[in-house]
Amino acid sequence: MKKSIELKAFCDWSPAGKDHLIISGPCGAETEEQVLSTAGQLTATNKVNIFRAGIWKPRTRPNSFEGVGEIGLKRLQQVKKQYGLLTTVEVANREHTELALKYGVDILWIGARTTVNPFSVQEIADVLKGVDVPVMIKNPVNPDLQLWIGAIERINQAGINKIAAIHRGFHSGNKTIYRNNPMWEIPIELKTLYPDLAIICDPSHIGGKRTLIKEIAQKSIDLGMQGVMIESQIDHDHALSDAQQQITPQVLLELLESLVYRTESTDNVSFNDQLNNFRNIIDELDEELLSLLKKRIDIIEKIGEYKLENKVAVFQLQRWKLILESRLSSGDLKKLDRGFVEKFCLLLHEESIRVQTELMNKR
Ligand code: PEP
Ligand code: MN
């Protein structure tokens, strides 16, 4: 079910216009000194378009720092007054949203733990009816694209048309080097479904550690995302939340200066010719792959018939184990990524089982 989302063009409301949007600031607003000095140093980089700070922090366990609350909003007003920076905060319920609007926060964002809950998103949407404020919606904690789309639709149906999505990675159950698995295919699918929706990447919450931020930010640029939200503050080692993933404004500046922006397409004729050659080869290879898959399915059907005649079950664990092991070692020899080969074999196997089960059910 694809419902249309009515959006105002991102470049018409993004403070960066057509350029890459940079949002930065501390994970949480802690003290006046921390907020104002950080904002001052971020302004001095001349790169930051929006100042972020959490005022209400959703924490996994109680008794950790849960944000300073309303007083933080006053500090954001000071940031705006003193440095002219636009401000954004996370809102998770009716009260947060009303207060953020009352204090003139420029842009709201909905956090990953809120996007998972349609009741909370609707509560926020209800407060936003008739209000003209941009809203950025983080992906839900779990890798569920429909939930993400659902939250975007709820906010859009409240009349908000300045919307951006924030990709902050997913809890996937698999242990990876990331705090939250990026699963890039999910924001790519979102973009494919809603090409006008801007996606901003949050490398801080994907990476969970300083050392990963740059490569994640670069990857998001290479994938055509429209901006980054990166946590930064002057004294990150003493931060009350997310200390390992924050960087100083100076390091942020160096990081931003090292990012490479590539144009999506170019007018260079010989480049385009060569690219087309490569793409033609890919088209042919894909055609061959599909023909091979068709041949494989035909054989699978024969096997299915044969098993049926001889009253043999569809799934044989031993055979599946052998297939997986032999394909993985063949993939190793060809220097193919193991994870990729494994996923591919799983897909093939699932499809074989589906085809054979369907055969059985027809009888
Ligand atoms: C944050 O931005 O500080 C935050 C809490 O993020 P998330 O909702 O992505 O966990
Ligand atoms: Mn954080």
Q: Residues 259-271: pLDDT tens digits?
A: 999 876 777 888 8
Asked if 151 contacts 92 with a C-beta cutoff of 8 angstroms, the reply is no
Compute how many other C-beta atoms are within 10 angstroms of the C-beta atom of residue 138. Answer: 24
Model pLDDT, residue 47: 98
Fold (CATH) for 270-362: Chorismate Mutase Domain, subunit A (1.20.59)
* Residue 112 CB less than 6 A away from ligand 1: yes
User: Which atom number of ligand 1 is nearest to the Cα of residue 204?
Assistant: 2
* Residue 136 CB less than 6 A away from ligand 1: no
Q: Ligand 1: which of 51, 113, 236 to mutate, most ligand atoms within 8 Å of CB?
A: 113
Model pLDDT, residue 353: 92
Ranges of each domain in the chain: 10-258, 270-362
CB within 8 A of 209, min separation 6: which ones? 179, 244, 245
Model pLDDT, residue 316: 84
Summarised one tens digit per residue, pLDDT across range 122-181 is 999 999 999 999 999 999 999 999 999 999 999 999 999 999 999 999 998 888 999 999
* Residue 214 CB less than 6 A away from ligand 1: no
CATH superfamily ID and name for 10-258: Aldolase class I (3.20.20.70)
Average pLDDT on 218-235 reads 96
Percent of the chain with pLDDT over 90: 87
User: Which atom number of ligand 1 is nearest to the Cα of residue 54?
Assistant: 3
Percent of the chain with pLDDT over 70: 99
DSSP 308-363: HHTT--S--HHHHHHHHHHHHHHHHHTT--HHHHHHHHHHHHHHHHHHHHHHHHH-
Distance from C-alpha of 265 to C-alpha of 155, rounded to nearest angstrom? 33
User: Rounded to the nearest whole angstrom, what is the distance from the C-alpha of residue 27 to the centroid of ligand 2?
Assistant: 4
User: Which atom number of ligand 1 is nearest to the Cα of residue 112?
Assistant: 8
pLDDT at residue 273 greater than cutoff 70: yes
- Of all protein residues, whose CA lies closest to atom 1 belonging to ligand 1? 27
User: Which atom number of ligand 1 is nearest to the Cα of residue 241?
Assistant: 3
Which ligand is nearest to the Cα of residue 245, counting in written order?
2
Model pLDDT, residue 1: 60
DSSP state of 140: P
Model pLDDT, residue 59: 85
Read off the pTM: 0.82
User: Which tops the pLDDT comparison, 101 or 273?
Assistant: 101
User: Which tops the pLDDT comparison, 102 or 362?
Assistant: 102
